[in-house]
Amino acid sequence: MDPIGRERRLVRAARLLAAGVVLPLLAWWLTTWEGNYHLGSVWHYVNQAESRAEPWSAAAIESNREHLVAAALLAVAGLVCLVAGLTVAVRARRVPAEDREQDR
């Protein structure tokens, strides 16, 4: 295998692995981002009629569905990047069969 091509594949794998770590962290941040200083995260719903926040309620999930869908998509994209990065790294590190035969 060409050493330059191997190095490029390892750099590509490192970028994919970095994206695989950063995207789920961004998803986590998105779900804990304070959209309203009363809320604290998208998992809370401010019931203005009763002047209290309802954590993990159906209203919280319904009112913040866009944020939760975006976070889920980011997390899935991150997992895909992790799997792709690991695959590229393993394939780049593997020694081709013809090189193994020459070493014998």
Can you give the residue ranges of every domain in the chain?
3-33+64-103
Q: pLDDT-derived band of residue 93, with 50, 70 and 90 as boundaries?
A: confident
Residue 21 has pLDDT above 70, yes or no: yes
* pTM beyond 0.75: no
Q: Give the amino acid at 9.
A: R
Looking at residue 94, what DSSP letter applies?
A: S
pLDDT of residue 55: 65
Between residues 68 and 36, the one the model is more confident about? 68
Best CA proximity match to 57, nearest among 47, 69, 72: 47
Does the pLDDT of residue 4 top 80, yes or no? yes
Q: Phi/psi at 34 (nearest 5 deg)?
A: -85, 100
For 37-86, write each residue's pLDDT tens digit.
445 566 666 666 666 666 666 777 777 788 888 999 999 999 999 999 99
The yes-or-no verdict on residue 18 having pLDDT over 90 is yes
Question: In this prediction, what percent of the chain has a pLDDT beyond 90?
Answer: 38
3-state secondary structure 14-71: HHHHHHHHHHHHHHHHHHHCCCCCCCCCCCEEEECCCCEEEECCHHHHHHCHHHHHHH
